Amino acid sequence: MDTQKKEKPRRNDPRQIVRWTRRYAQNRTISFLVQWVFIVLMVIIIGLAASLTQLAHKRESQALFTLSVAMMVLSMLALAWFSLSRWSGHLISSITNRLYGREGYVAYSGIHKQEKLPLWLTALGGGLVVYHLVGALLISFNYMHIQYLQPWSALYMTPYLIAMVLYQRLGFWAWLWPLLYGLHALLMLYGAPVRFGREYELLNIIVPIFGYGLFAIIAGHIYSRYALWKLKTLTRDAIPDIDGDDDAAPGETSEEAGHG
């Protein structure tokens, strides 16, 4: 019984403080939310350009086709630049620090703060853009129906996101995005009622890819609030009560100091 008491962690156990600090750092997701907003805007532009390309191909309008393809390619290049640019990284960090305010900066050292992503993972990120561009072009030239765009996307997106989660050692929330996105692709292939109508076909990729991402980010943020509350409780309990001992000299109790 004494052994069980010793094994049970105390409220002010330093190991508990370390544990909840790690969980808080792993689940701070505001920076991902800021990135999410920028990427959503760019992908919507790409999707609209792809739809215009398909429309131009059906109407045999060479001018509209050329304009929409150019718009789609430029949008893809802008997305790739934003994903790899140092400027965008500084912008996201600045906005994130403002939103967190007095909480300050904290990061889980899954990778070193100054360490860049390995070359193979950076290459996969560039390949992600090229892969979706190929999918959009296949749809534009009627080699692939637009209803298969989401499963096509999940074939690359799911393992890529999993690789990012593993390398950066993110919290549980990050697993929700690739797993739900891959599951959605399987449901679509097997005819589950998760598809929008033909007039809203583009939503079949926009809603899953960004909806599941937003859901994962919000789940992580809620958990980080809980982890921060636990951390504050633990650190508050860990501070010793020294009231009444301030006037005592070193080595003396407060009672001895009073008699002196």
Q: What is the pLDDT of residue 154?
A: 94
pLDDT digits 0-9 by tens, 49-82: 777 777 777 787 788 878 877 877 787 777 777 7
Q: What is the pLDDT of residue 163?
A: 92
DSSP 110: T
> In sequence order, what are the residues at sequence separation of 6 or more whose Cβ sits closer than 8 angstroms to the Cβ of residue 187?
194
Would you tell me how many other CB atoms lie within 10 Å of the CB of residue 133?
Answer: 19
- Give me the residue label for tokens 């959605």: 184
Q: What is the pLDDT of residue 121?
A: 83
pTM for the predicted model, two decimal places: 0.71
Which tokens belong to 13?
């156990």
Which tokens belong to 35?
């990135």
